Chain A
């Protein structure tokens, strides 16, 4: 549904986007992940036709954004960074304007507006001027205008930025509800969002795509993938460490905590599963553990490792 082909963007000597290609299919929620300044927003601006690419193009449902911009623009809904909207309009008028531009008239426009207001919970601010709205509501208005025409492709630039946890949860709920029918791409630098919402993640830094995988696959690249976290009594720490020395395949043991409890994180070599062996050992040698957890992997470590500048890389 959404195909990005070899996008480049140069601002004079600065290369903001460097050969970015990917596709998003129906039913996918792609997380566009990267540090600030990575080129996420610039890429989105090119996809939506706001910025002309230096090279490459984007196809939305087969329509080339540069050759057939109007046809392409009808196929997506876009929430720009910062969720801009006309401050002097009230929510109702704004949505009606967007509905008209999207080709809806009269009763159909009203029906669409009512539906989207319900979906995004804008009822209580329906008559209010946009400049008086809180950030959370402004963002919801932005999402509403992006979804009002029920587009097959949805492009959201930092949709939960600045929202409180409740609002984030609601926004993610909205995304989840429409996931099946649409191809959605959201840009974010929140790793928890990627885990919560995205079926796939692309990590971009300095204009290049550095990784393209599911969140689980990305997490598996972490050195903490399959690490085991033990919650133990401080007094047993030394004994347990001694027992652990007998087990091959342990790369490191990290200890954290103060006072009477400690948390040991046992990192396996090559991410090999050691939970089974450890559980047996814990049972057999009576470690008296309070908690036992297997880590899926830490996305922030992977993120940092992947996006670190070349001279700093390799220090995960």
Chain B
């Protein structure tokens, strides 16, 4: 139905315009780019490695997102409830799903814009050598998907509280658990004593693990499915939470 998609897009547009109406968006993008740059070139041994690829760049994305994406997601619903606009919003002739998806899409597109603005990194390796553009492109997509998953988690948390700082901290904590679960440190913790099934489960739950797989150039359907299912699950939770807490 035209009206179904239409409302979602209008809501998305309104939300996105709201980001750029304040310095918030520009500050965020600048910080994102600067941090990415610092991490890639100085912490990531970009020059030392001597390889014309963007591994040093992508390897930090989970950590970059851990810190920055909750800053975007925290205001998604908490702001509406605090200011009272949620009462106006939810009494308009829109479906709850349109509201939830519309707002999420706006945040996701925004992060996508920030991600797209890192193209100078790509240009750098193109200039310096002969990178595998397929891997790079897949990695960008994987990164965007991962960002989407994290955003979905953040959106759901934002719907659960009126306080943006609480939303930020809880989201960051949740994402940390999901990211850390894939790191060697944590897997190592489980490996010694836990049954193989559990170790696999822990590793499999990790954002890190699935993202790293994509950046290695192997785009497995399971990895895509992982991110998409997180998004779907948390968007559903988001809708439920909005309905439960809207009138508080």
Q: Is A270 an interface residue (CB 8 A)?
A: no
Query: Count of A-B contacts with CB under 8 A?
Result: 64
Q: State the CA gap A181–B95 with chains docked (Å).
A: 28
Q: Which residue of B11, B83, B87 has the most chain A CB atoms within 10 A of its CB atom? A: B87
Which interface class (under 10, 10 to 19, 20 to 34, 35 or more) fits B?
Answer: 20 to 34
Q: Is A80 an interface residue (CB 8 A)?
A: yes
* Complex contacts, A70 vs chain B, CB 8 Å: 93-95
Partner of B83, one of A87, A102, A129: A87
A84 touching B87 in the complex, CB below 8 Å, given contacts A73-B92, A73-B93, A97-B14:
yes
A residues in contact (CB < 8 Å) with B: 45, 48-51, 70, 73-74, 78, 80-82, 84-89, 93, 97-98, 100-103, 129, 142, 145
Output the least CB separation between B94 and chain A (Å): 6
Q: Are A85 and B88 in contact (CB under 8 A)?
A: yes
Q: Are A101 and B92 in contact (CB under 8 A)?
A: yes
Output the least CB separation between A158 and chain B (Å): 13
Q: Are B83 and A84 in contact (CB under 8 A)?
A: yes
* Complex contacts, A48 vs chain B, CB 8 Å: 91
CB proximity to A under 8 Å, residues B2-46: 3, 6-7, 10-11, 14, 17-18, 21-22
Q: Is B51 an interface residue (CB 8 A)?
A: no
Q: Is B189 an interface residue (CB 8 A)?
A: no
Sampled A-B contacts (6; CB under 8 Å): A50-B87, A74-B93, A88-B18, A101-B92, A101-B94, A103-B3
Known: A50-B246, A89-B14, A89-B17. 17 other contacts (CB 8 A): A49-B90, A50-B247, A73-B91, A74-B93, A80-B84, A81-B84, A84-B84, A85-B85, A88-B21, A89-B18, A97-B14, A98-B92, A101-B10, A101-B11, A101-B92, A101-B93, A103-B3
Q: State the CA gap A280–B41 with chains docked (Å).
A: 103
